[in-house]
Amino acid sequence: MKMVPLSKHISMFVSMILLFLPSWTNAFGVKYVDPKYKATAFLTISFPTSAIAFDSSENLYIENSTDNGSGSVKILKLDAANNYTTSSIYISYSTSAHGVNGLAFNEFGSLFVSESNADKNSGFIREIDTAALTVSKTMPLDSFRPTGIATDASGNIFFPGRLSSDPDFGNIYKINSMGVVHILLAGVIGTGIGINNSGNIVVSTPGRDVSPLVSQSIYEYDSNTLKPSLIATFDDDPVEELTFDAEGDLYVIDHKMANRSQTIIRLSRFSAISTLPGIKLLLLSD
């Protein structure tokens, strides 16, 4: 009887496992996902958006991009208790900007909104008082536009700054709790931003390679070394908004259906559990 090497058995076993796993390569516009993550379709909405965020109760907030250029911002609230099937207008306000591209709640009861002017060379960051549901502060950005917004537990605000007139211009900026703005990551051209539970910055990239980053991708920057690692790459238009939920899962907007319905994709982290000597199976964390 012909003996098959143990390595061959292991290879066949792993191949069978992979055969029955969903193929995310061709689904939802996802081209590559780090093995520590699983990509799934979370929710499809019937209108275009470039701005989403979760609150601490897992309710989802979405800005309706059909209002772009209308002089009005309308942010909708989708209730987690109803599995996001019901929505209501959370807040609306007048604006001179063209459109919203980022939403982020902080730990102190505020919602921050990033907006771009029509020239895409300037914009605003606004703070919404979530008790009064009014705009409490406005910071004009005259030298570049923000393209997303994120906050951390210490009260800092982060956003990518870009210029339409200079596609090679891009930095990640930080506004500290004293309101001082400085460059955190110089030369990083980001289209969206998020902060994970470890305090690391997550940035999405535009539709072209900008060394050392690959186009249409998501990178995580270590908060200590500020070095990037690739999380995912998409085969469609660049993602403009990133957000995390309370569990630490990352959400992105699939622009494959831009200007019509859009799918929100969830990137959940895996846990590695050893089942046989030399073999690890990846199971989804609770």
**CATH 2.120.10.30 at 47-260, yes or no:** yes
Domain boundaries defined on the chain: 47-260
Rg (CA), the chain: 20
pLDDT recorded at residue 222: 94
pLDDT recorded at residue 233: 92
CA-based angle 128:129:132, to the nearest 5?
A: 125
pLDDT recorded at residue 16: 34
CA distance 184 to 225: 12
pLDDT recorded at residue 8: 38
CA distance 250 to 33: 12
Q: 31 vs 81, 85, 115, CA distance in Å?
A: 32, 29, 29
pLDDT, tens digit (0-9, with 9 covering 90-100), for 232-246: 998 866 567 899 999
- List Cβ neighbours of 183 (8 Å cut-off, separation of 6 or more): 171, 172, 173, 174
pLDDT recorded at residue 12: 37
- Cβ proximity of 206 and 158 under 8 Å: no
Ranges under pLDDT 50 in the chain: 1-28, 257-258, 272-286
pLDDT recorded at residue 144: 97
CA distance 174 to 150: 10
Backbone angles phi, psi at 80, to 5 degrees: -65, -35
- For the chain, the average pLDDT equals 83
pLDDT recorded at residue 48: 86
Q: 106 vs 131, 139, 149, 247, CA distance in Å?
A: 13, 17, 11, 16
pLDDT recorded at residue 2: 40
